[in-house]
Amino acid sequence: MSDRVRLAALAGLTIAGVGLVVAVSLKRIGTPLSSSLVPAFEVIGTPLKSLNHLVTKVIPIDDIDEKDYGDVYRAHYQVEVPADDPDLVYLDDLMKHLSEYARKPFPYRAFPVDGDEPNAMALPGGVLLVTRGLLRNLGSEAELVSVLGHEMGHVEQGHCVDAVRFELLARKIGARPFGEIADFGLRILTSHSFSKNQEDEADQFGYTLLVNSPFDPRGSGRAFRSLLQYEKRLESGQRARGADPFRDYFSSHPPLELREAAFRERAEAWWRGHPGQQRRVGRQNLVDRISTYTRAEPDSAAGSDGVPLTGGAR
């Protein structure tokens, strides 16, 4: 091939590349739900820097234990969310029992935060954040337990603390007041997307927790279905998208359709192998914010909300 032909080919590729970039820019291709421009702390809460003695201590990054993060985040959200908040009381009751399935010795706790989007997020040290929009858009307590188990999986697998440490070290942040480090960590995680392998690991942890719990394993696939239904409502214009400080649940995770189908099939296979089992769904429990562990409703032949379900019940 002559030099003239090579130059012509290179010029053609360059022009094509520029054209593709221009086309993408003009079409404004993005995620299914665009990222919010609202600052994270506007919804998540005030910065952590003045909470307690620990946050004022100057600590090198390498000396920080994951438990330190959890202690600070828990103290922060205990101030942000009133102790008698019905959503908090409900989540506390669930987490008290779900923590039994964790291996790490953290006092796991889930806090409700304002936000219309159905979203959840894990922080280092066993702190989970759940938007009130998630509580409104899921269909049952079994679905909620699946999501909580997924977020616990990120903590149990070390995904959260590893992401924070990596980013802080990459930015060469050395010895700083711990409150400043914790603020950095929270900002990192609100915009951080876990890898597909990490999401798969968290999915597997959540599903295994559901299988080992009193809840219907179908809650996992049905949680993804509820999120899909929410996404379709957005696309049809039935609901306006609100401000969401978390990473976009729909764009940062593997496709919801694939996850819904995969875990629906796994749950159906589980039921075929356990036809006499009784499991709980808890639709009314979620509506009333009273957990199955506190109020187990009486049996019903129809398999209605909150009652034990067998393999044949839907």
The pLDDT tens digits of the residues spanning 250-274 come to 444 457 888 899 999 999 999 999 9
Decide: helix, strand or coil at residue 189: helix
Q: CA 68, 124, 186, 190: dihedral to nearest 10 degrees?
A: 180
How far does Cα 176 stand from its chain's mean position?
Answer: 28
Q: What is the pTM of this model?
A: 0.75
Q: What is the mean pLDDT of residues 288-308?
A: 61
Instruction: Judge whether residue 243 has pLDDT over 60.
Output: no
CB 154 within 8 A of CB 139: no
Higher pLDDT, 104 or 177: 104
Mean of the per-residue pLDDT values of the chain: 76
**Low-confidence winner among 137-151, 169-183, 217-231, 265-279 (lowest mean pLDDT):** 169-183
Instruction: Judge whether residue 284 has pLDDT over 90.
Output: yes
How do residues 10-32 score in pLDDT, each as one tens digit?
Answer: 556 566 555 554 443 444 333 33
Question: Distance between the two ends of the chain, CA-based, in angstroms?
Answer: 67
How do residues 25-54 score in pLDDT, each as one tens digit?
Answer: 444 333 333 333 333 444 455 656 555 555
Q: What is the mean pLDDT of residues 129-138?
A: 95
Q: pLDDT value at position 269?
A: 96
Backbone angles phi, psi at 280, to 5 degrees: -105, 145
- Kindly state the tokens that stand for 312: 């044949």
Instruction: Judge whether residue 76 has pLDDT over 60.
Output: yes
